[in-house]
Every structure is written in structure tokens, then in C-alpha cells.
A and B are shown apart, each in its own frame.
Chain A
Amino acid sequence: MADMKPWGERYLTGTDVQRLDGEDKVTGRAKYTYDLNFPGMLYGKILRSQHPHAKVIKVDLTRAAAHPGVKAVFDFEKQTVRYAGEEVAAIAAVSPEVADEALKLIDVTYEKLPFSVREETSMAEGAAQIHPNGNVAMDERRQSEKGDTVAGFAEADAVIEKTYRVPVQTHTSLETHGAVAQWDGDKLTVWSSTQGVVGVRDDLAKYFDLPPENVRVLCEHMGGGFGSKFGPGAEGVAASVLARSAGVPVKLMLNRKEEHLAVGNRPSAIMTIKMGAKKDGKITAFESQTYGTGGVGGIGNIPLPYVFDIANYKSELKDVHINAGGSRAMRAPGHPQAEIGMDCAMDALADAVGMDPLAFRKANGSRANEIRLKQYDIGAKEIGWERRNKVAGSAKGPVKRGIGMGCGMWGGGGNKRSYVEVQIHSDGTVDAKCAIQDIGTGSRTILAMTVAEELGLTLDQVTPHVGDTNFPPGTGSGGSSTTPSMVPAAKTAARKAKGELLALVAPLLGVDAAMLETRQGQIQVKGNGKSMSWTNATAQLASDIVVTANRDDGYHSSGAAGVHFAEVEVDIETGRIQPIKIVAVNDCGLVVNKLLAESQVNGGVIGGLSYALLENRLLDRQTGVMVNPNMEAYKVAGAMEMPEIVPILMDMPERGVIGLGEPATIPTAGALANAVYNAIGVWVTDFPMTPDKVLNALAQG
């Protein structure tokens, strides 16, 4: 671990601090991109291909452009469309209804091409060619091998082999993707529902060949992204082009169907895992063959073997293209798939060698093992691990309970791309600015907390400003990097700004600045009780102190572990799974805001629960279109599915700040699957674990 700097007194961090924009959100005052109305604003809409694969022969916008309500048109100039839902053209009109009418006036001539919407048909001989480089790719970096698996399996006392099938999940952000764009000469202002205002700014500047300072991107509040909202997207580009052409602001927000089709998803994974262990629980060998699809996009990595240290392994990953919207990063990309495969195989193998799954895991090393060993015990105690069925499925009656566990890991170290400006005014108030965005994690709140704590002030003395590219640059909110990048930068900038103020007032207190500290709104001489109030000190300022800094090392680290435990009830007559309790033990180093961090963990658990039990993008193999592009047939978890959730954070200030958003979602799905097995004694290996799958598994025994 790098040398850590002393954090100092923690009277805000580590405590429950209510989010500063909470009142705006509960009163409806918070304005999201979708809520913006400007005088004369037009409404943009996108025409999308209804064909899963086709050549675009001609796009004729004449009739649409002639509609009196249409003020601008835009052709994406696609030669080929490769999924049902791909952008073809866009228009801006005086109202959403007129825009809908006018979309029907766009005449597109397609030449339909053969298509595939299933991984297996894409891999078959003579399949429709979806990608110019072939339907199946094997990235060398994603094939891994270590040791000697043949010898490892020979050494094993028991070997299991199973195939796990995990579907495509869509992000289903509640605020859809979109933007409002407005031009003033060659200056562009875009309000964007985004996880990265700086990225959107840079991409739009590049698209329009403008210097970045000519583009301003704003995002005060945004309604969820989960990895799908980086860059302006086709909708942001279209809004900007249409606004330039019409000379008035254009708002272009996608609808729910477009959201499912075209702005990202978590790739599927079909994982065949073979694993062997000795009677003492030591895993001797692991092999996996995995394929999956990110549609017309890539699959990324599915890191197998996952979490556990294995001496001999061989892991193969095939990236299969189908005619469906491209994948995008989704909360811990690749990890939840790997976790399901790995943790289910761990429990199956534990069963095969006759060991308790917790003891089996403990018998093997893992990433961040020292912390994980503590997490095992904390979680097992909270869930009541001893209550689990010693023999899976042995509980009496038609409604059976079971308990299971799962493990995750994440980096979460952040980066140096976030800069925070701390400005101390002569009236004692402080502004903290950073062009990060608050995607619901509370970054606005923790920015103010960090600066206030470093300066020895109360929270209300610091005003945070985020979501505007006019502020110093901030990192995109991905990889759980916002907090470990921004908080240390805020700490660093505040410490430097404080240093300037202390140097100014030190002579007035007759001591060296090194002898001064700030506490409870006072500047104090260490040891002798002499002090000056913060406001008396800032009153000495001839001009504001303004310091901008990215992070110094010593306030962050990386390498997060997480262990989740789940208890479920399974009705073997209906196949319905009801989660009863989930204990989530997670580590994020120094806990910045306990209340908000626990909210993050709740959210991670619920996302994982929804993934395990409900979510499944369904494509029709006859027509190639998605059959559930809505929120009633594409199910996400609701109130009635909610178990009791117990988030447990290990506050470890000595590790500095580590990201939490992604690691908190990883272990839940596998923990639930293992709990289901413990309840009913048969494996459900096809996800999501809907009642039909449970009943099928029971029928097959």
C-alpha cells in the first residue's frame, strides 16, 4: 500500500449526512435534462430501422421536411443498419406529436439482409455475416492460462462441470438518454443526461470541429445511467445538429423503447465451467469456455476464474455478434456474469467434496483475502449461516428456505483526472467546484463534506458546484472512480487553500503557520489555546484564495472485496422465489458518507437481485426485434420483491477512499442462486431464475 497521509479529524466523513439536493428532489424542484423547457424549443425525434439487418438504399426526407411543423431534418447517412432500432434519420418539430407524425413521412428504402439474433445461430456455419471481421472474435488478452490443468484435474478428488446461461440485461435508466442543445453563433451549450459532462463536451467539440471551450455541457441532475451514459450518443449529436440547423433550442429525449434497443446493455454469457478440488477443499484446476454477445458491440471481459486463487486454470472467451444493439459498460462490466458462474460452481464443488460452502471458500485464497476473511465472518453471523440446510433441499413442505453466499472484487482506485477548485471568500464562505456530475451517488454532497472537514467548517459554509464544464475538469462517473478521484482532489485543494490562509494569519497570531490548525470554525495555535475565528481570518484577505488541484497520493487506494449472503424462500409448487434477507458486506476504505454509502449498497444489492430473478431482453428469432422493450414485460425489481437488506460497510480510514458503486452489485446474484440451490436441492443454471426455470429444474431433478 502506498504511504497514506493522515486524514485528520473526521467529524463529517464516516457519518450520516443527508444529501444536499435531497429537498430539491422530493419537492420536484430538481430540474433534469428531460424537464427543461425553453421558449421556442423544438422537439427532436429519431427514425430507427425496423429491420434487424439491412442495406439502406435511400433516405428521402423531402416529405418530412415539407411538413409545416418540421423545422430541421438530419440524415445519419447509414449504409447498413445492423439491428432493429439503429438510427437512420432525425427531425425537429414544433411538438412531440408533430414530430411523431412527421417521422412517418420519411421514406427509407431498405434491402433486407439475413440476420441472427441468437449467439448459437451466429456461431453456426453459414450464418448471416453480421460483422465485417466475422461473427466470432477471440481477443488474445481475454484468453488466459496458468499452470497445468491436466495435472490439476488428475489431482482432484471431485470434479464438477456445469453450463450457466446468463441473459442480456438493459440498463433501464429511468431518465432516458437525451439532450437539449442550443447554439449562439459558433458556441454550443448542451444540457445532457450524462455520466460525464467533460466527455460529452470533448466529443461534441470534435464532431463540430470546435475548440472545447466553445462547447459547454451542463448536467445539474440526472436520472440514472449505470454505465450507459458516456459521450453525447447519436441523440446528443442529432439534437446539436438539428438545433444548429433550426436556429433554436432542440430537445431530443429517447422513449422507453429506444432506451432498451439502442443505448447499451450488459452482454450475455454462456459459461461452461469445469472445476476440481481435493477433499480438504483446495481447488486444483479450473477450465472455462465462455461465449456471449454484446450485440453489434463487444462483450468486454468476463474475468474467469473469478476472485479465487487457482494454481492451474485455462479460460477461453468468445465474443459473438448478433443483430442487436451494442453493449455498453454496465455497473461492474463483466463481473456479475463471472460471479454467477464462479460462485455457483464453487457451491457445486463444495457439495461434491462434502464441504460447507463457506469453509470451502476459506480453504482457498482470494483477492483481498485478508479483508475477505473478516467479511465472511461478519456476514455469516448476520445472516445466521448455521441455519442453512446441511443437505440442500432437505427442508420440509412446499415452501422451502435456503441460504447462500457470493463473492466479488473491484479496483475502485479512481484517477487523477478530477480537479477541484476551492475558493475561500473574504466573508468566510467557501465554494468548491468540479466538473464531475452527481448521478445519484451524492458526489455533490461529499464534495462539500470533504472541503468543509478539511477547513474545520460546518457543511453549510461550503457550497458545492458540479455538472458544468466551465468548472475544472472532472472524471466520468465510471469504474466507481468519481469518489476516489474527486474526494482526494478536494482534500488536496482544500489543504493547499487552507495553507495559504494560515500563512496569511500566522504573523497576526505570532506563530509559524505550521503551528496552526483549523477546528470548529477557529484557527488555533496548537497547544496554547490561542485562536482566531475563521471569519476574522478570511476578513484579512485582499482577494479570494483560489486553489485548483487534482489528487495527491495518500488519500486513496484500490482493491475492494465484497461478500453477500442471501436467504430465500422458494415455493416448489409455483416456482416463485421470494428473497427474504440479503446481507451485503462491502469495503470502500474510508467511508465518506455512511448514509449515502449504505444507499449505494442497497442499490447494488437490488440491481443484482433484479438481474438474478427478473431481467431478460427477449429477441424474436423470426423477426429479429425485441419483444419486451417496455417496463411491464421487461421486469425490474419492485417493492414486492424486496427482502430485508443489511448493508455492512467496513470503515477503514487507513486505506483511504475506494469506489463502492460497482463492487456493491457484484456478489448478489450468485448468492441468491446458491440460496435457491440450498432451498430446493437442484440447480437453476438458466438465468433469470423465473418460476418456469425453477419448475423446469425441479422437474429434471
Chain B
Amino acid sequence: MKQEPNPLEKESGISRRTFLQGIGAGAAATGLLTVAAPPQTADAKEAYGTSVGPNATQVTLKINGTEHRTAVEPRHTLLDVMRQKLDITGPKPICERGSCGGCTVMLDKQPIYSCMMLAIDAVGKEITTVEGLSKDGELDPVQKAFVQHDAQMCGFCTPGFVVSVRALLDRNPNPTLNDVKKAVSGNTCRCGTYPRIFEAALTAAKLQRGGV
């Protein structure tokens, strides 16, 4: 079985539906790996080999460019491991079941819900959280635009929105308002910052093109 072609490569936007399909395709591919495809890395061997579960297994997770070696149980989600074991608390637990986007991170450049992915499935992938977007104290254009437009109130959903918008601009540097709406349609804000988020995303696109 081959992984479905990434719909994002063709489309400019990512809808909630394609987002969830993406997760489903990833999970299906992972299930297949354990049966047919031999694990390639030492970590993956540890994760998928005979020693897996129910007890904790040592794995290495590459998050924001840093390798973190930690013990995870097979049931631990990527979100839980980041927050509880690695103190990476930008991604937030809000709905706990893939409906709010507060825990959005990038997995090899694709936005995913980290509450819906087991930590062992993230082994060998490049994980980027909101903490990984600013480099040497310099904010990412998306972060700058969020501050400029006040695209945040209580701020609890903000890390998820920032990552979703970053992922959008990576695949589509020149989005329309509708592209932005679709890209963040898997994220929920309760304070009501959406109009500002839309403005910020469009400004960020301009900022990274060298405008404004």
C-alpha cells in the first residue's frame, strides 16, 4: 500500500476534511510499517520491535531541531510526551480528540493534531512546534503579524493557529482570504480572534515577501 498523494501539494488550502484524511492516511501507513516494511532507524526498531509495550520504551523525538531521548509508553500521544516529559507546552490540550487544533504542530512540514498521534509514530520525523518558529530571538513573520494585528486574546489557541498559518504559507506563500479560512478551519478560538487571525495571515504573507 502506498501513502495517498498529499492533497496539499495540489491545493492551496487545507480543509478540516483533508486535514483529518491526512491523519488517517498517516495512521494507515504506520500500521502497515509494522507488518511489511522493516523499520529503518534504530529508534524505529525500538519503537516497533518486539519490546514495544505495555511498558515504556526509550525513543528519540526530533523536536524543533533538537533530539530528545525519553521513555514513552505506546499509549502516550505526541502531545502528552511533549508537554509532560519534555516541558514543551506551546501545543495545548483543549478538546483532547482532534477537533480544536490547539495542539497543532508540523510533522515534516505538514500540520497535524499532536493529540491524535502516538509519540512512537512521530519517531524519525521532524517535529516543529510554535516554539521552533522563532530563530535566535527573531520572530517568524507569522508571529510578528499576530502581535501586530492582535490576533490573540487569551492566547490559549494561539500556538495552534500560528502553526497552521505557518504551514499554509509554506505551501502557499500568496494565499487569499478564503485560503486562510480553510487553512485554519481545523482550529478553534473561543475569544473570537478570527478576523484578526485572517488579517495577520495575509500580512505575514506580505512580510515574508519583503513587503509592508
Contact = CB atoms under 8 A, between A and B. Distances in A.
Contact of B184 (A35, A605, A639): A639
A441 B152 CA distance: 10
B192 A224 contact: no
B89 to A, nearest CB: 4
Nearest to A22: B147
Interface string B65-85: 000000001011000100110
Interface stretch (B1-9, B41-49, B93-101, B119-127): B93-101
Interface residues of A, number: 57
B202 interface: no
A173 B190 contact: yes
A109 interface: no
Contact of A18 (B76, B88, B148): B148
B17 to A, nearest CB: 11
B162 A26 contact: yes
A221 interface: yes
- Quick one: which of A96, A224, A441 has the most chain B CB within 10 A? A224
Contacts of B76: 97
Contact of A96 (B84, B92, B130): B84
Contacts of B91: 28
A603 B143 contact: no
Interface string A193-234: 000000000000000000000000000011110100000000
A27 interface: yes
Contacts of B148: 18
A595 B94 CA distance: 27
B172 interface: no
Contacts of A224: 153-154, 156, 190-191
Contact of B157 (A29, A174, A607): A174
Contacts of A255: 96
Contacts of B189: 174
A176 B96 CA distance: 11
Contacts of B93: 34
Interface string B137-180: 00100110011101011111111001000000000000000001
Contact of A639 (B83, B129, B147, B194): B194
A23 B143 CA distance: 8
Interface residues of B, number: 58
A638 B153 contact: no
B188 A28 contact: no
B159 A28 contact: yes
Contacts of A600: 153
B147 A26 contact: yes
Given A602-B192, A603-B191, A631-B95, A642 B147 contact: no
Nearest to A37: B87
Interface string A238-263: 00000000000000000110000000
Given A224-B190, A224-B191, A22 B152 contact: yes
A402 to B, nearest CB: 22
B190 A636 contact: yes
- Quick one: which of B146, B158, B180 has the most chain A CB within 10 A? B158
A256 B152 contact: no
Nearest to A665: B192
- Quick one: which of A27, A175, A636 has the most chain B CB within 10 A? A27
B24 interface: no
Given A27-B133, A631-B95, A639-B185, A19 B190 contact: no
B192 A631 contact: no
Contacts of B158: 25-26
Given A174-B190, A606-B194, A441 B80 contact: no
Contacts of B131: 27-29
B97 A603 contact: no
Interface in A600-652: 600, 602-607, 630-632, 636-640, 642, 644-645
B198 to A, nearest CB: 7
A26 B130 contact: yes
Given A631-B188, A642-B181, A441 B195 contact: no
A223 B156 contact: yes
B150 A19 contact: yes
- Quick one: which of B84, B180, B194 has the most chain A CB within 10 A? B194
Contacts of B111: none
A74 interface: no
B134 interface: yes
Given A19-B150, A631-B100, A638 B188 contact: yes
B194 A28 contact: no
B154 A174 contact: yes
B90 interface: yes
A591 interface: no
Contact of B193 (A23, A442, A603): A603
Contacts of B60: none
B192 A606 contact: yes
- Quick one: which of B89, B154, B189 has the most chain A CB within 10 A? B154
Contact of A642 (B94, B96, B99, B198): B198
Interface string A17-58: 011011111111111101101000000000000000000000
B92 A223 contact: yes
A599 B190 contact: no
A98 B190 CA distance: 31
Contact of A221 (B95, B100, B155): B155
Nearest to A20: B147
A440 interface: yes
A97 B73 contact: yes
A494 interface: no
A317 interface: no
B161 to A, nearest CB: 9
B203 interface: no
Given A26-B130, A31-B89, A603 B192 contact: yes
B206 interface: no
Nearest to B146: A26
B22 interface: no
Contacts of A22: 146-147, 150, 152
A349 interface: no
A596 interface: yes
A30 B143 CA distance: 14
A175 B153 CA distance: 13
A446 interface: no
B196 interface: yes
B20 to A, nearest CB: 11
Contacts of B110: none
B198 A631 contact: no
A480 B154 CA distance: 16
- Quick one: which of A26, A174, A176, A595 has the most chain B CB within 10 A? A26
A172 interface: yes
A25 B185 contact: no
Contacts of A175: 92, 94, 154, 156
Given A26-B143, A640-B181, A174 B94 contact: yes
18 contacts: A25-B152, A27-B90, A27-B134, A28-B90, A174-B190, A175-B94, A221-B155, A223-B155, A224-B156, A256-B95, A256-B97, A441-B153, A602-B194, A631-B100, A639-B182, A640-B185, A642-B181, A642-B195
| 9 pairs of A and B residues whose beta carbons are closest in the complex | A28-B90, A223-B156, A440-B154, A603-B192, A606-B192, A25-B155, A35-B89, A440-B153, A22-B147
Given A603-B153, A632-B95, A638-B188, 11 more contacts: A18-B147, A22-B152, A25-B155, A27-B131, A176-B94, A224-B156, A224-B191, A599-B150, A630-B99, A636-B190, A638-B185
Interface of B: 73, 75-76, 80, 83-84, 87-97, 99-100, 102, 129-131, 133-134, 139, 142-143, 146-148, 150, 152-159, 162, 180-182, 184-185, 187-198
